[in-house]
Homo-oligomer: A and B are copies of this chain.
Amino acid sequence: MNERELIARLLPALPGNDSVVVGAGDDCAVIDLGGPEYVLFKTDAVVENIHFTPATPLERVGRKALARCLSDIAAMAGKPTAALITLALPPKFDVRDVERIYAGLNNLASEYGVAIAGGETTTSPGGILISVALLGTVEKDKCALRAGGKAGDAVFVTGRLGGSLQGKHLDFEPRIREARWLVEHFRITSMIDVSDGLAGDLRHILKASRVGAELLSSAIPISREAKLSKRAESSAKPPLLAALTDGEDFELLFTVPPKSAVALLDGWGRQFPRVPLSCIGKITADPGLRLRDKQGIRTLELHGYTHFQKP
Contact = CB atoms under 8 A, between A and B. Distances in A.
A33 B33 contact: yes
Contact of A15 (B33, B99, B106): B106
Contacts of A17: 81-82, 113-115
22 contacts: A9-B99, A10-B99, A14-B117, A15-B114, A16-B115, A16-B116, A17-B81, A17-B114, A19-B82, A23-B115, A23-B118, A24-B116, A33-B35, A33-B135, A34-B35, A34-B37, A34-B137, A35-B35, A43-B84, A45-B131, A48-B125, A129-B129
A195 to B, nearest CB: 11
Contact of A98 (B6, B102, B113): B6
Interface string A221-251: 0000000000000000000000000000000
A24 B119 CA distance: 7
Contact of A84 (B47, B98, B133): B133
A137 to B, nearest CB: 6
A117 B28 CA distance: 9
A218 interface: no
Interface string A109-138: 110011111111111111101010101010
A55 interface: no
A31 B254 CA distance: 30
Interface string A30-71: 010111110101111101111000000000000000000000
A276 interface: no
Contacts of A125: 47-49, 126-127
Interface of A: 1, 3, 6-7, 9-10, 13-17, 19-20, 23-25, 29, 31, 33-37, 39, 41-45, 47-50, 81-82, 84, 86, 88, 95, 98-99, 102-103, 106, 109-110, 113-127, 129, 131, 133, 135, 137
A7 B122 CA distance: 12
Copies of this chain, whole number: 2
A41 B137 contact: no
A73 to B, nearest CB: 13
A113 to B, nearest CB: 6
A17 B9 CA distance: 40
A233 to B, nearest CB: 27
A45 B37 CA distance: 29
A20 B114 CA distance: 10
